[in-house]
Amino acid sequence: MKLREVTITQRLIFSNLLSLMIVSFAILIVIRSLYYVESTLKTQAHEHITVLSEHSDISRRVFKLTSRVKLLEQTFLFSESTLSEEAFHIDLELQTLRELSTNRVLSQKMDSFIDNFHRFLGSSLSLNRILKKTQQIDGLLAEQIDELEFYISDQKRVKAQDAENWSYFNKLDLVSMLRESFLMTGKMVGNIHSRITPETEQVLIIEVEKELDILLLHLENVDIKTPKLTAQQQKMKQTLHKYNAALRRIKANLKQRWLVMDALVTSQNELLSMVELTESKVQTDALALAESLKKEIGRSRLNAILISVFAFLLSILLVSLVVKRHIQKPLKDLSEGFDRIESDGVNKPINLNRTDEWSHIENTFNKMALRLTDAYSELNEEKKNFDFLAHHDPLTGLANRLLGTKKLNEKITKAKEQDSSFLLIYLDIDEFKTINDSLGHTSGDNLLINVSKVLEELVQGIGFVSRMGGDEFMIVVDDEETVKHGEIILERINKSLRKAYYIDDKSVFVSASIGVCQFPSHGNDDETLIRNADTAMYHAKRNGKDQYRIYVDKMTLEVTDIIETNVGLRQAIKNDELVVFFQPKVDLHSKRVTGAEALVRWEHPKLGLLQPVDFLEIAEKTDLIVDIDKWVFRKVATLISQWQEEGVNLEGILFSLNFSARMFYMPDLAEQLKSILDQTSCQPHQLILEITERDMMRDFVTCVRTIETLRSQGYKIAIDDFGTGYSSLSVVKNLSADYLKLDRSFIQDLDTSQLDCEITSAVLKLAKILNLSVIAEGVETHKHLEKLIQLGCKRAQGYYFSKPLPVPNWLEYFEANKGDQQ
């Protein structure tokens, strides 16, 4: 037997042959103490690890749940069904989390959190229903105002010969003011869901109440005493009473909602604090355990010494030697290990270099220390992750709106102290909604990740970038040289983003609209700077996209006009104020009409006939453009059916309609068009659907698939504004279109520019090779006509033949120039 493999028990027995009883008793005491230490270490370590794991899991789940509750709170007004469904999942997760804990106090904290969540859910549902009820009252009041105006107008007609007729005009003016107050009231009520602060909500509701008082005052001033008017006034007063009652309910609910939210946040913080307190207690218990074991070891050592005193002198010497080498030294190493845990909470593995009983204690201690260290490390890492997720966008890793605004305020404070300046750049991806709708949200997310990487590389070392939400990014540049030459960085951003991105094996072309303002010239606080930069960005998008605009004060007024136009356009679609004009397409050799392009106009009740440039750009920013496209399609199909029923010969005549990118990339476009045509006698082969080359290249693969589907149903397809986009010969070669519409920019100087002449000739030759027909746009002079005929172009449209015509004039032109239709 090797000496190193002799156990402590055997050493003591061999060294105490002359005092078996005394030394054996000492050995039993020492062995008992050692096994007590080992057992205690195993038991307590397991309990500590279990508690730490349990509370780490609870802490992580609570944070995720509170994040979902915040998202739920932000979206509670959009859909009651969505709110209920998401609340059900959150409540289910809360109940699951409640069952995880065996700690009674922690369970009570969890119950408090669940109770406050249910109060929050009830408040959200209640407020949602009140706001919906307010919308119904708002609609009823709108109808009653219209009826009041009708009664006054009718009374004015009856009293047309009355010398005091001017008073009815005055009443109509009162109705206009009443309607203006009503619209202002509706707008402010619609803004209540923004909920920035309780004070803001209270001020907004007070403003609404004041506006309702003004509306009631205007109503009282309508003093025409007729039964109908008197009854109508009484109905409107009752409706206004309901409106005020609804506002009081909203006000009370909002106040209660903030109290509920405060309670929810408080219970959340108490719950997390409880988790942290428990973790601290575990650490304290571990230190207490170390102290207890040290005392137990000390008692064991003392007992061994006292008992050894009663042994023979030789036994005493031998036992002292054994204790010193085989007990005291390992105990010292073990004690030092506990001291390290007690002092700094960090443990280094101990090495007793033993193969006897101490090896078990050594392994147990090292395992416990390792597991405790890992648990504390994981907990600290989770806390760091929580902080990161709270301040960063989970998709792109950029600073989110919260952190971006915080860093912006820090820049403002620093700039004020140093009397310096910086640039705030607000950026929006052009047609991002179209990309999302056509390729899916996963592809849209991948595009945002690519864009964020490009922006981070551009501003590295000169500022920071943050994602403000959706496809909007904020860039703050504080580099002195860059601020002085700000247009350089703006051009670099536009140029860097203006390229093809390969998303899921698809090529997507994007661009960005950028707005920029400078501190302190354009604002002294974060809210003003962001608002002004966003306004400048909107102007960049409105003026053609893929560019930047520097903020000026007049932009704010223009944005107000745009909002009014947007509201009016919605009303125009509802009231059928849009009209269709037709611009003839002509065969250049026979001069006969071969078709026409349908162009929309707005017959504004106050401003008269508005051209597309006055409203289509605004419509393209929202889904209104889709409603307009559908309206024009239905109108043209209806007119074609009507003309055919009246005996107009439309054989061989094709009518073109322009589709926006949002309309063209709708997944169920073909089904929607078929549903409209089924209500008329118009056939798909009578229609040409036009999409611009630029919109076509946003998602070429989807575009090709859509074109093939539409052509299989009989529609003709035209590529509009050809020559101004990003297409290549390989793209055109693989596109199953029927027509190329040569952009007017090439026709304008066709008779004077050799370059334009060569380009036009090349397009005509390319179209012939690809079996495509070419239609030249913008033919305005006889020289244009002669040059196109010389180059071999067969069809054209433009002011030389006719400007866009209303329906009666178009029919006259068509009858006069249709020629032989065979």
86 or 499, which is more confident: 499
Structure confidence at residue 166 (pLDDT): 45
pLDDT surpassing 60 at residue 314? yes
pLDDT surpassing 60 at residue 378? yes
167 or 674, which is more confident: 674
Pick the most confident of 6-20, 229-243, 700-714.
Answer: 700-714
Q: What is the DSSP letter of 781?
A: S
pLDDT surpassing 80 at residue 636? yes
pLDDT over 90 for what percent of the chain?
A: 17
| Averaged pLDDT for residues 614-639 | 85
User: Which spans in 310-328 are helix H?
Assistant: 313-323
Q: Which residues on neighbouring strands pair with residue 774, listed in sequence order? A: 740
Structure confidence at residue 501 (pLDDT): 76
User: Which spans in 75-103 are helix H?
Assistant: 80-100
- Which residues make Cβ contacts (< 8 Å) with residue 792, sequence separation at least 6? 764, 768
Structure confidence at residue 803 (pLDDT): 94
Distances (CA, A) of 160 to 146, 153, 166, 513: 21, 10, 10, 55
pLDDT tens profile 753-812: 888 888 888 888 888 888 889 999 999 999 998 898 988 999 999 999 999 999 999 999
Structure confidence at residue 108 (pLDDT): 72
Structure confidence at residue 179 (pLDDT): 76
The span from the CA of 813 to the CA of 802, in Å, is: 9
The span from the CA of 632 to the CA of 148, in Å, is: 33
- Of the candidates 476, 463, 426, 469, which has an alpha carbon nearest to the alpha carbon of residue 448? 469
Its pTM stands at 0.43
Backbone φ, ψ for residue 602 (5° rounding): -115, 115
Structure confidence at residue 581 (pLDDT): 96
The Cα angle at residue 427 between residues 423 and 430, in degrees rounded to 5: 155
The span from the CA of 616 to the CA of 219, in Å, is: 37
pLDDT tens profile 383-439: 666 667 777 888 888 888 888 899 999 999 999 999 899 999 999 888 787 777 777
- Strand segments, DSSP code E, in 520-659 are 547-550, 578-587, 593-604, 608-610, 654-658
- Which residues make Cβ contacts (< 8 Å) with residue 582, sequence separation at least 6? 596, 597, 598, 599, 655, 804, 805, 807, 810
Cβ neighbourhood burial of 420 (10 Å; 0-12, 13-18, 19+): middle
The span from the CA of 356 to the CA of 236, in Å, is: 97
Tokens representing residue 59 in the block: 């802490």
